[in-house]
Amino acid sequence: MSEYRNMTKEELLAEKETLLKKFDEFKAMGLNLDMSRGKPSKEQLDLSMDMLKPIDYTEDGFDVRNYGLLDGIKSCKQLFADLLGVEAKNIIIGPSASLNLMYDYICQCYCEGVLGSTPWCKLDEVKFLCPVPGYDRHFTILEHFGIKMINVPMTSEGPDMDVIEELVKDEAVKGMFCVPKYSNPQGITFSDDTVRRIAALKPAAKDFRIVWDNAYCVHDIKDEGDTLLNIFDVLGDNEDMVIEVCSTSKMTFPGAGVSALAASDANIAQIKKRLNCETISYDKMNQLRHVKFFGNVDGLLAHMKKHAAIMKPKFDMVIEHLENELGGLGIAEWLDPKGGYFISLDVMNGTAKRVGELCKEAGVTLTTVGATYPYGDDPNNSNIRIAPSLPPVAELDLATQILCTSVKLAAIEKLVG
């Protein structure tokens, strides 16, 4: 089949007829399939059940069931230090969600400022740079605090650094969220050059902060995964500029994992001071369970291979459908990521919302179209985030067929009505 834009009106209408027939068949199945969020599947959750076997809840003679140890138990801090390539003193173990660590950090900047700077709540305008498409929950945090979001386009190497280097000359630009490895939703890993340029930024704002959301740091799907330069190795004098977070949400249990934050001594000190008001300690029993379950970083990486084995067939199937059904039509583009949780699909400009509607009509829930952009506003109305992890393979097969059919139908509607 040739590209849609090269087909005649008659050819397109005939194609539409075929697609509508197929679409009606899907609808008749009364499906309820969910590809909206990066939820691990039941099979993946089952991988970590051994974590719950009875253990001795003491470490170095300290009863972790009781109060204390604000920044986490020693062994858990070491595990994350090894994972992220920093010293244990630069680690704080957090609650079950790294989102909570990020929200709390932005909230702290808003309420009290950054290492002595003016609190952001006292400024007339605060802006953040948002690589797009990006993670909706980052945008939600920023919007909650009234922080103005500025789109920065992603390239295959990470966010467009020429644009960023220009924008940080504005003193009102106070920071940026990044998902540097297997970015959400595109699955792009920032190149070494991008990481170096980010690390070398000299923003006008002294209180410029990058939240380095390394959510998918060990979430390879292909045998040969991407590698990400450790930004703390190249920050030099800029070490206070980056706050890194990660979690075991997609290693063990999304609702009951352990999160961690890595930062410079100065940032850790400021965060700990606030934490001392905010809580007594996070769940140290859960921290110890995780340490005993993984053993060390090698054990953690071995565990992630089991996840990959479950995820790979799902990603392969989606990519195969996209290639077979949308390849060569000139109406959609996508990347084939080596890891992470998402496949980002760019459909014909102006049709993404319609694709979402059609999918919904046929019983497939996608991430709300537009959510991958600040304010839910995708200027091209073209980006769709596919989350293949949750549905069983058979359902995913069907859901992707429905998605591809919807992408074609929406394109034809756009081209010939």
Binding site for its own copies (CB under 8 A): 37, 39-40, 42, 45, 52-54, 63-69, 95-97, 99-100, 103-104, 107, 110-112, 119, 121-122, 137, 140-141, 144-145, 249, 253-256, 274, 276-286
Least CB distance to its own copies at residue 85 (A): 26
Residues 6+ apart with CB under 8 A from 94: 72, 100, 101, 245, 247, 258, 259, 260, 261, 282
Quote the crossing angle between the two packed helices 297-321 and 284-294, to the nearest 10°: 80
Report the residue number, 279 or 296, with the smaller CB distance to its own copies. 279
Radius of gyration of the chain (CA): 23
Report the residue number, 68 or 379, with the smaller CB distance to its own copies. 68
Report the residue number, 111 or 302, with the smaller CB distance to its own copies. 111
CA distance 103 to 106: 5
Report the residue number, 43 or 171, with the smaller CB distance to its own copies. 43
Residues 6+ apart with CB under 8 A from 243: 105, 209, 210, 211, 212, 261, 262, 263, 267
Residue 38 C-alpha from the chain's centroid: 9
Report the residue number, 9 or 273, with the smaller CB distance to its own copies. 273
**H helical segments located in 53-191:** 74-84, 98-112, 136-144, 161-167
Quote the crossing angle between the two packed helices 9-28 and 393-416, to the nearest 10°: 150
Q: In the structure encoding, which two tokens stand for residue 98, read together?
A: 């790294």
Report the residue number, 137 or 312, with the smaller CB distance to its own copies. 137
Report the residue number, 64 or 130, with the smaller CB distance to its own copies. 64
3-state helix, strand, coil in the chain (%, to 5): 45, 15, 40
Least CB distance to its own copies at residue 17 (A): 40
Q: Which amino acid, 253?
A: F
Least CB distance to its own copies at residue 179 (A): 16
N-term to C-term CA, the chain: 20
Least CB distance to its own copies at residue 262 (A): 20
Report the residue number, 79 or 161, with the smaller CB distance to its own copies. 79
Torsion angle of the four alpha carbons 370, 33, 188, 331, in this order, in degrees rounded to the nearest 10:
-70
Closest-CA residue to 232 (of 212, 251, 206): 212
**Residue 391: what are its φ and ψ, rounded to 5°?**
-70, 145
Report the residue number, 101 or 411, with the smaller CB distance to its own copies. 101
Least CB distance to its own copies at residue 7 (A): 42
The dihedral built from the CA positions of residue 248, 249, 251 and 252, taken in this order, carries a sign that is positive
Least CB distance to its own copies at residue 69 (A): 8
Least CB distance to its own copies at residue 201 (A): 26
Polymer length of the chain: 417
CB contact at 8 A, 92 and 112: no
Least CB distance to its own copies at residue 355 (A): 24
Least CB distance to its own copies at residue 239 (A): 25
Least CB distance to its own copies at residue 16 (A): 37
Report the residue number, 274 or 353, with the smaller CB distance to its own copies. 274
